Amino acid sequence: MTAPTPIPVSVVGGFLGSGKTTLLNRLLKENDGRRLGLIVNDFGDINIDEKLIVARDEDMVSLANGCICCSIGNDFLRALIALVTRSDPPEQIIIEASGIADPLRIAAIARADKALRLQGIFVLVDATQYIKQSADPLLADTVSAQVQAADLLVLTKSDISTVVEVDAVSALLEKEKPGALRVVSSPENLPASLLFDFADSLPEGSDGTVRGHAPHDVFWTGSISSDQVCDVDRLKHVLASQAGLLRCKGIVRTEGGVCRVVQWVAGRLDVTALTAGRAHSENCLVYIGVGAKPEGVDRALQAVFD
Amino acid sequence: MTTTIFAAKRIITMNPSRPFATHVAVREGRVLGVGTLEEVSAWGEAHLDERFVDQVLMPGLIEGHSHLVEGSLWDHVYVGYYDRMAPDGKVWPGLKSVDAVVERLQEAAAAMDDPDAPLIGWGFDPIFFGEQRMHASDLDRVSNGRMIGVFHASLHFLNVNSAVVDESDLSASADMQEVRTDADGKPTGELAGMVGMYLALKSMKYDPGSAATYPPALWNFAKVCQLAGVTTATDLHSPLDDEMVARLKAETGRQDFPLRVVPAFGGTLMPSDKGTERIGALVDQSTDKLKMGIVKLVLDGSIQGFTARLKWPGHFNGAPNGLWYIAPDEFKKTVSAYNAAGFQLHIHTNGDEATEVALDAIEAALATHPHADHRHTLQHCQLASDAQFRRMAALGVGVNLFSNHVYYWGDQHYELTLGPDRTHRIDNAGSAVEHGVDLALHSDAPITAIGPLFTAWCAVNRVTATGKRLGGEAERLSVEEALYTITMGGAISLKLDHEIGSIEVGKLADFAVLTDDPLEMDPMALRDVGVWGTVVGGEVFEAPKN
C-alpha cells in the first residue's frame, strides 16, 4: 500500500491588520473547484457567500466552489485534525496564523505529520505599521519572530504608504533577517499560485516573469526537463545557491532508476516517494523566485542531470 | 419541612460575629442557625445528626482556579513525581525514576483488553530527574506495538514510544525545536508545544479537553474536589457551548452530585460582541450548583514554561521573553467590551509585564465604564510587585495567587527562570493582604492537585520542595488568614460571598468535614489535615476510604 500523497500546507502569518483576511477572502472567492481547506481565525471576518454554502456546522463550512472553511473556534488543533481526517480531505490547506502567533510553531505541525507537507510560510508585514510595532517594547519580539519565521515576506499597504516608508521597512527587514525573500504587494495582487502546490498551479514549461498588478511584485519562474539521472545532492547544492529562489518542485529519476518527488522550500529539500496512479511528467523541475531572475539558473539546474 | 442539626467537635464559621460554634441547623439546603445546641434548637423540631461529633466543620472549601480536565485525566495513568489522590480515594504514590514510570505503565498495559488501544500517562515531570530524560526506548519496554503517550505535568510536553515516532516519521522533522533529539540527532520521543498535542489528538485519538462533554469526567472532577473538602470549584476557561451547558446542567442537577461548579466563559473564543451575548444569555440559566457569568481572559503563558511575559531583566537563564496569548491592544478592547457589558473578568497574568498590561487595560475600561463593585481578578499574577498591588488596591482589582508554585516550582524559579531575588516575591500573599487586595489562592488543577488546605500550607510556610523558605516573614499568611482565604477569599473572588464562604444564617449549607482542627496544629502540619468528606446544600458526602 502506498502512503497517500501528503497534503500541502501553506501558513499565512503576520500581525493584526497586515492583510491576512483580505488575502484569504480572495482565495475563497477565486477558488474554482479545487478542494481547498482554509483554516481561519474567525468566520466573522471572512466573506462567505451564503448562496454557496452546501453544508455547515459550528466550526466548518463547505462551499459549492470546493472550499472547506474551518474556524479555529475553540481550538486550532481540532480544526486542523477535523480537516485532515475527513473522508474527502482537501487537496491543499491554507492556515491563517493568529496575529500574535509565531507561524513557525504552526508550520511545525505540518512538518511533524507525514500526512502533511509544509509548502511555505508567508508572512505579511504592514508597511505603515511595522516600524512602530518593532519599536514597541511589548510587541517587538512578537513581530520579529514572525519575520524570522517567513519563507517569503510580503510588504502590504504600500498603496497607503510613501516610498520612503516602504524603503525604511525594507531596510529594517533586511537588517532583521538578512537575505530574506521579500516582495512588495497588496494581498489582492499576490499571485494565488504562490500559496498552492506547484503541480497544477505553475504552467509547465513556462519560463519568464509572473507580474501582478502592483509595480513591485515581481516573481520569476522557470522549468527544465531532462532524460538523465538526477544527482540529488548536487540539486540541493544548486538550489541553495540561487538568489531569490522560493520554491522548486519536480519529479526526478535518481540513481538506480527510481523516480522521486523533490520539493524545495526556502532551504528545505524534501525527497519523497512517488505516489502511484498519478500521471506525471518525469524528470522535470519547475521553480519560482522573487526579484531578478539569477543569471544561469536554468543552466545550473539542467546540469544536475547527467 | 425537615431541619437537621449537625453537632461537631468545633465549627469554624468564618463569620466574625460568631467565629466558633458546636452546632449548625440546616433547612432547605441552607444554614438556619449556628451556635450551641440550645440556640439552634430554638427553631423548632429538628433531627440531631451526631456523626461529626469528633470532626471539625469549616465552610466548604473553594477552589477558585481549576479545570475540569482534571476529571478526564483520571481515565489514564498517573505517573507524576508527587503522590496524588484519585477520585476513588486511592493514593497513587509519586514516581521517583523513569524506571518506576515504565513499571506503572507496564502494569496498566497488562490490564488493557484491546492490544491496539493507545496508552496514555499524565503528570510526568522530568524536571526532578536532573539530566535524565525519558526516551522512546524506555516506553518501548512497555510496548512497541501499542502507541504510548505520556503527558508532562504542564500538558505542554509529551513523551511517546517508537510506535508513535515511526507512525509520524518524526526523524524527518528532527531539526525542529519541538522534537527533542539525542546526540545522534535522532528523535528521543519527547515532543513540545502544539506538535505533541497534535499527534496525541490525531494518532492516539486522545483529547484531554473532552472532559466537558463526558459525564464520568465531570464526576471524577467532583469526587477529587470532595476528597479535598472542596464544595465549589471553577472550570476557569470554558467554551460553554450548548452541548457543554446541557451536560453541566444535567450532571450538577443531580442531588448526589457533590459539587457546585463555576465555569468561566473563555472570553476570546469568539469576538467580544458575540461573547457578551452568549454569556449574557447563560447568566439566567444558572442554578444553585451551576453558576455562570464570569469571563476568563488569558494574557500570557507560564513562568516555568518560559512563556510568561516578564519585565526587565527577563529570564534568569537568558531565555527570550514569553508569549502574548492575545495582542495587548486587542486585549484592551476585549476587557473594555466585557467590562462595559458588566461582566466580571478573571485575567490570567503570570509575568509582571502581563500584570502591568492587565492593570492598564482595566484602568482604561473603568475610566469609560465605571463599576463600583466590578471585582475583576488577576489569576496567578505570580510576580506582582509592591507597586502593582498598590494599583490593584486603588482599582478595586482582586488577585488569586498560585501559591502551590512556591512548593512545586520554587526551586526551579530560583535556579533557572527568575533567579534568587525575584523568586522571593512569587505569589506574595502577604503583600496582597497588606494592601487590602481581595485575595484567593489556587491549585490550577490539573497542573497541581486540588487541595486548598495544601495551598494554604504553601501560603503559610512558603517552603519549596527542597525545603528552601521563600520571601520574608511579611509574605507569609497566618493560618487564620490562609483559612479565610480558601473559604471567604474564594467566595469573594467569584462574587458568591452572599451564598458561600462562611457558615452563616441564610447561606448554602456547604461544609468541609475535617478530622483535625487546622487551628490547633503546627502550621507546618496544615497540609496533613484529614478530610472526612463534605456537606453540600445539607447533603452529606463521605469521602471513599482507600
Partner B contacted by A57 (CB < 8 A): no
pLDDT bin (cut points 50, 70, 90) of residue A203 is: very low
| CATH code, B166 | 3.10.310.70
Q: Which residue has the higher pLDDT, A195 or B111?
A: B111
Q: CATH 3.40.50.300 in chain A, residues?
A: 7-194
Among A84-88, B166-170, B250-254, B262-266, the least confident range: B166-170
The residue range of the domain holding B457 is 210-500
Looking at residues A42-67, what average pLDDT do you find?
82
pLDDT bin (cut points 50, 70, 90) of residue B409 is: very high
Pick from B169, B198, B242, B296 the residue to mutate for testing the A interface (most A CBs within 10 Å): B198
| CATH code, B412 | 3.20.20.140
Is residue B305 a contact partner of residue B156, using CB atoms and an 8 Å limit?
A: yes
Q: From residue B299, how far is each of A186, A267, B44, B189, B267 by CA, in Å?
A: 31, 34, 54, 30, 11
Partner A contacted by B243 (CB < 8 A): no
Which residues of chain A does B199 touch, with a Cβ-Cβ cutoff of 8 Å? 112-113
Q: For A108, which of B195, B269, B328 is closest by C-beta distance?
A: B195
Query: pLDDT for B29-38, tens place per residue?
Result: 999 999 999 9
Question: How many structural domains comprise chain B?
Answer: 3
For residue B391, being part of any structural domain is answered with yes
CATH for A199-302 is 3.30.1220.10
Partner A contacted by B179 (CB < 8 A): yes
Q: Are B257 and B334 in the same domain?
A: yes
For residue B68, being part of any structural domain is answered with no
Torsion of CA B427, B429, B435, B440, to 10 degrees: 100
Q: For A112, which of B168, B321, B328 is closest by C-beta distance?
A: B168
pLDDT bin (cut points 50, 70, 90) of residue B322 is: very high
* Predicted pLDDT at A41: 83
Counting residues of chain B whose pLDDT is more than 90, the rounded percentage is 87
Contact: B198, A109; criterion CB under 8 Å: yes
Q: Are B278 and B360 in the same domain?
A: yes
Q: For residue B540, is pLDDT > 90? A: yes
Q: CATH 3.30.1220.10 in chain A, residues?
A: 199-302
Contact: A112, B269; criterion CB under 8 Å: no
Query: pLDDT for A103-122, tens place per residue?
Result: 999 999 999 998 999 989 99
What is the distance between the alpha carbons of residues A22 and A27, in angstroms, rounded to a whole number? 9
Contact: A99, B330; criterion CB under 8 Å: yes
For residue B72, being part of any structural domain is answered with no
Partner A contacted by B201 (CB < 8 A): yes
Q: For residue A280, is pLDDT > 80? A: no
Q: Are B511 and B494 in the same domain?
A: no
Counting residues of chain A whose pLDDT is more than 90, the rounded percentage is 40
Q: For residue B213, is pLDDT > 70? A: no
Which residues of chain A does B198 touch, with a Cβ-Cβ cutoff of 8 Å? 77, 80-81, 109, 112-113
Amino acid, res. B273 = D
Distance from CA of B49 to the nearest CA of A (A): 47
* Predicted pLDDT at B211: 55
Q: Are B154 and B97 in the same domain?
A: yes
| CATH code, B538 | 2.30.40.10
Q: Are B257 and B196 in the same domain?
A: no
Is residue B170 a contact partner of residue B190, using CB atoms and an 8 Å limit?
A: no
Topology of domain A7-194, CATH: Rossmann fold (3.40.50)
Pick from B69, B156, B160, B195 the residue to mutate for testing the A interface (most A CBs within 10 Å): B195
* Predicted pLDDT at A1: 43
Contact: B327, A100; criterion CB under 8 Å: yes
For residue B21, being part of any structural domain is answered with yes
Q: Are B452 and B541 in the same domain?
A: no
Which residues of chain B does A95 touch, with a Cβ-Cβ cutoff of 8 Å? none
Q: For A75, which of B209, B320, B357 is closest by C-beta distance?
A: B209
For residue B530, being part of any structural domain is answered with yes
Distance from CA of A265 to the nearest CA of B (A): 14
Q: Are B23 and B139 in the same domain?
A: no
How many Å from the N-terminal Cα to the C-terminal Cα in chain B?
36
Q: Are B448 and B541 in the same domain?
A: no
Rounded to the nearest integer, the mean pLDDT of chain B is 95
Q: From residue B134, how far is each of B85, B126, B147, B176, B409 by CA, in Å?
A: 24, 8, 16, 19, 20
Pick from B168, B177, B202 the residue to mutate for testing the A interface (most A CBs within 10 Å): B202
Partner B contacted by A121 (CB < 8 A): no
Partner B contacted by A138 (CB < 8 A): yes
Q: For residue B15, is pLDDT > 90? A: yes
* Predicted pLDDT at B328: 96
Looking at residues A82-95, what average pLDDT do you find?
92
- Of A27-41, A284-298, B17-31, B183-197, give the range with the top mean pLDDT: B17-31
Q: Are B1 and B90 in the same domain?
A: no
Q: Are B123 and B238 in the same domain?
A: no
* Predicted pLDDT at A201: 45
pLDDT bin (cut points 50, 70, 90) of residue A227 is: confident
Query: pLDDT for B376-388, tens place per residue?
Result: 999 999 999 999 9
Q: Are B45 and B140 in the same domain?
A: no
